[in-house]
A and B are shown apart, each in its own frame.
Chain A
Amino acid sequence: MNDTDFFDQAMRYQDGVLTPDEIAAFEAAMRDDPAKRQLFADTQVRSMALHDRFRQEAFQSSCDFSRTSPKKPFTWITRPIAAMAAGLVIGLFSASVVGAISSPKATTERLFSLLNGSFDENRLERGFPRQTGLWSGDEAAIHDGQLRFISPGSDSNDPTGRAISCDVFQLVDLRPLRHALSPEGDSVLELSADFLDARAPNTKPSVSFFCQLYLFAGDPGSLHQTWPQSIPAAIASGSAEVTTLGLDDKGTRTLTVKCLIPAQADFAVIQIAARPNLRPAKLEGLSADNVRLSLKTQPSLPVRIVQR
C-alpha cells in the first residue's frame, strides 16, 4: 500500500466506513511498517489539531482572544495551562452528551440558584448581566417557555468587535454551595441545556449552538466591566457545542458540560449561544430551553479495569 492509498484508507477509517476485512488490510499495512504507523499517528494528531484549530477560531472570533496575546495572532489554548490545571478543565468543547460516571456513592443535586432555566418567566435583559439570577445578553426573547435567539450582538466592551453570535448569560452565585462541596475536591458542576433548530431540513447556513460554563473567583457584579477579555481569568471552564442544518431526525439536542469546582470559585457564568456559520444571517427558528445546573459530589469515583 503506497502512501496515497494509505491516506485514502485512513480517511475512510476516520469516517467509519471500512469493513472488518478492510480494517484488517489497513492494520496489516501498519503492522510491519513503523513508518506507516507513524503516518497514521501523525494523521490522527493533525486531524485533532485541525478540529481544535477551527474550534478555537470560532471562539476567537466571538471572544477576541487575540487581544490577550498580541504577539501571536492565533493561540492554540486560550486558557493558561496553570489556570486550567487549577480548575481541571472538564468538558472541553465536547459536543455529545456523556453520562455521569456511575458511582453508587455519587449524589446529584439540582441547583435552583440558576433561575428561570425553563424560561417560564418572561424576564430578559440586554447586555452582559450585572447581577446573579437573571438572563441577560444579546437580542433574544422569551416566548412560549423558550428562549428564542433573534440577532447576533457585539460585546459592549469591544466596540470594534463584530457581531458573531447571539449570547445570553446568567451569573450564578456559588458561595452558598461551599458547605455541600466534597472535601476531596471532586465535586462537579454540570450544566445542560436543550437546543432546537426548527428551520427546514438542510437550511444553510449551518448554526452552532454553544453551552458554556465558566467559574470565577471574585465579585460577579463587576465582571460585566471586563467581559469577554476576562475569560482567560476563569479558574475552570467547560464548553459544549453542536452544529445543525435545520430540523433533522435528532430533533432537540441536549448539550452538557462539566467542571470540577475549585474551592476558590465564587460564581459561575452560564452562557448559551447560537452562532450562524455564515454572516450576516437571521436567527430564525433557533431556541434554547431547559437550562439546568446540577452539583454532583462523588466521594468515591470508581475506577474500572477492563481486561481484554
Chain B
Amino acid sequence: MPAPEDITATLLAERLPLTAFFASVTRDFHLAEDVFQEVCVKAVARAESFETTAHLMNWARLAGKNRAIDILRARDGRYVGLSDEMLALLAADWPDQTKVDAMQEALDQCITQITPNNRELLRLRYFERRNCTDVAAIMGRKIETVYQALARLHKTLGDCIRTRLQTDSAS
C-alpha cells in the first residue's frame, strides 16, 4: 500500500498524462486541470485503499473521467463525447510519464521548427483557451483553414517527435 506522500508524488509525477486523459472528456485543458486537483484531494483522503501504484493510477483515471462527465452534465445538461467503452480502451494504453518526458524533450526541439504564425495558432488554441471560431477571427482565417492548420501542425509535430525519439534510441 503506497504511503500518502507516495500517492501525492505519483499523481504529481503523472500530472500531464492524467490531465491529458481527463481533457479527452472535458475538451478543455483548464477544466481537466481542475479535475486533476479534485482527484488528488480524493486520492489522499482514501490513501489506505490503494494496494499498488497501478491500482492508484487506474482509480485516478476512472475517478477523473467520472468527475469530468459529472461536471459537464451539471454545466451543459448532458455529456456529448467519447463513450465509456472507448475511454476504457484508451485508458488501457494511455502513455505514462516516462513516455511523456521523452516526448516533451523532443517537442521542445520540434516546436522551434514551426513558423511564428503557426506558433501563435497553437498558443491561441492551447494557452489562451480560444475555440477555433475565435482563433479564426483573431487570425483573420476561415475556420476550416484553422482546423486544417491545427491538424497539419499536430501531424508535423508528431512526425518530428517520433523521428527524434527513434534517433535518440538508435544512438
A186-B45 in contact (CB<8A):
yes
- Among A12, A31, A89, A96, max chain B CB count under 10 A is at A96
CB pair A47–B20 under 8 Å, yes or no, is yes
B147 / chain A contacts, CB cutoff of 8 Å:
8, 11-12, 15
Given contacts A15-B131, A85-B9, contact A50 B122 (CB under 8 A): yes
Interface string of B130-169 (1 = CB under 8 A from A): 0110000000000000011011101101100100000000
- In the complex, chain B residues whose CB is within 8 Å of the CB of A76: 104
Of A44, A52, A85, A260, chain B has the most CB atoms within 10 Å of the CB of: A44
Given contacts A31-B86, A47-B23, A186-B45, contact A15 B29 (CB under 8 A): no
On chain A, the residues within 8 Å of B132 by CB distance are: 11, 15, 17
- A46 & B155 in contact (Cβ 8 Å cutoff): no
Contact A85 B12, beta carbon cutoff 8 Å: yes
- Residue with the greatest number of chain A CB neighbours at <10 A, chosen from B20, B23, B27: B20
- Closest-CB distance, B67 to chain A (whole angstroms): 8
Residues of B close to A10: CB separation below 8 A: 151, 154
Task: Report which of B5, B93, B111, B154 forms a contact with A43, defined as CB distance below 8 A.
Answer: B154
Closest CB-CB distance, B89 to chain A, in whole Å? 6
Interface residue A4 (Cβ < 8 Å from any Cβ of B): yes
| Contact (A52, B107) CB under 8 Å given A30-B86, A96-B30 | no
Chain B interface, number of residues (Cβ within 8 angstroms): 69
Return the chain A residue nearest B107 by Cβ.
A49
Complex: A64 Cα to B110 Cα, angstroms: 23
Task: Return chain A residues, CB-CB under 8 Å to B27.
Answer: 13-16
Interface residues of B in 1-54 (CB under 8 A from A): 5, 8-9, 12-13, 15-17, 19-21, 23-24, 27-34, 36-38, 40-42, 44-46
For chain A, the bracket of interface size reads 35 or more
Q: Out of A40, A88, A98, name the residue touching B40 (CB < 8 Å).
A: A88
Nearest CB of chain B from residue A148's CB, rounded to whole Å:
23
List the A side residues contacting B158 at CB < 8 Å.
Answer: 39, 42-43, 46
Which residues from chain B contact A101 at a C-beta distance below 8 Å? Answer: 38, 41-42
Query: How many angstroms between the C-alpha atoms of A308 and B116 in the bound complex?
Result: 45
Chain A residues within 8 Å of B38, by CB: 98, 101
- CB neighbours (8 Å) of A8 from chain B are 147-148, 151
Complex Cα spacing A176 to B95, Å: 44
Binary contact track B54-80/A, C-beta < 8 Å → 1, others 0: 000000000100100110000000001
Determine the chain A residues whose CB is within 8 A of the CB of B122 once the complex forms: 50, 54
Cβ–Cβ contact A51 & B37, under 8 A: no
Asked whether A41 and B131 contact (CB < 8 A) given A8-B151, A98-B34, the answer is: no
Assess the A89–B12 pair: CB atoms within 8 A: yes
Complex Cα gap A165–B81 (Å): 38
For the complex, give the distance between the alpha carbons of A193 and B41 in Å: 22
Task: Give 5 A-B contacts (CB < 8 Å), ordered by A residue.
Answer: A48-B29, A50-B107, A92-B36, A208-B128, A308-B84
Residues in chain B within 8 A of chain A (CB atoms): 5, 8-9, 12-13, 15-17, 19-21, 23-24, 27-34, 36-38, 40-42, 44-46, 63, 66, 69-70, 80-84, 86, 89-90, 93-95, 100, 103-104, 107-108, 111, 122-123, 126-129, 131-132, 147-148, 150-152, 154-155, 157-158, 161
The list of the 10 closest CB pairs from A to B, nearest first, reads: A54-B127, A301-B45, A7-B151, A48-B20, A95-B30, A85-B9, A306-B66, A50-B126, A51-B126, A8-B151
